[in-house]
Structure 1
């Protein structure tokens, strides 16, 4: 297999691609906003079809956005209880509606920090909300 890369042909193609698409490492908020809009449009186009020809582009743009966000918009560290409270709020749930982790009293003790989530409860919450179990650990 020939690993030779013809830079003389690559650079003009890259420059045309970069100029046409604006896809490049994100350096400021305006470019971040454009790349986020592009990712939304690409996701609408691909409709989750892993075989869509634009899926590689989705991955590249997503990686550029992720890199920028990690450097400029880091997420604060959250506890499992904070994550649970957030998910309950987002889903409009009351303590009594989390029967898979225990009675309303058990849920209350977990939310106030008087009781820790056990592995069974973590698995149940992970499955219910469709998030990684590490969200609650």
Structure 2
């Protein structure tokens, strides 16, 4: 397939096939350059046509816990107490700067994903 902008879903599927074909290309080869170009084009198309919703900070923590097999007990150890972890996960308590720092420095969650505004449960 000729390297060109992705305009249609058919172009998109073709680009994904090209990425599959080129996957594992040797570094420094023309095939690797093509792979990089296709990946960039696919990323741009997906950003425009298949945007992923941004998670709020609590959803981000939950997703990170799931991906890394962390439990609520792990979060409690990080935040200092079981009740604090529960309150954060149940949107009863807002994240503090100290909590955000710990989540970032110890769990590697990007701070910019944790500092966004989000709704607390008013109940």
TM-score normalised to structure 2 length: 0.71
1:126 aligns with 2:100: no
Gap change, CA 1:44 and 1:127, over 3 Å in 2: farther
RMSD value, Cα: 2.5
What runs of 5+ residues in structure 2 fail to find an aligned partner?
Answer: 116-123
Gap change, CA 1:127 and 1:111, over 3 Å in 2: same
CA deviation map 1:56-109 (0-9, x unaligned)? 434322221121112111112321101111121222321111222332211111
Q: Distance in 1 between matches of 2:21 and 2:10?
A: 17
Match of 2:36 in 1: 59
Gap change, CA 1:134 and 1:42, over 3 Å in 2: farther
Match of 2:14 in 1: 34
User: What secondary structure sits across from 2:4 in the alignment?
Assistant: coil
- 2:65–2:71 CA contact under 8 A, matched in 1: yes
What runs of 5+ residues in structure 1 fail to find an aligned partner?
Answer: 1-20
Match of 1:4 in 2: none
2:87 to 102, 109, 133: 109
1:45 aligns with 2:25: yes
Match of 2:120 in 1: none
Name which structure has the greater RCO, CA cutoff 8 Å, separation 6+.
2
2:45 to 58, 68, 89: 68
Q: Distance in 2 between matches of 1:38 and 1:127?
A: 38
TM-score normalised to structure 1 length: 0.65
Match of 1:88 in 2: 65
Paired residues in the alignment total 113
Determine which structure has the larger helix proportion and give its number: 1
Q: Distance in 1 between matches of 2:10 and 2:88?
A: 42
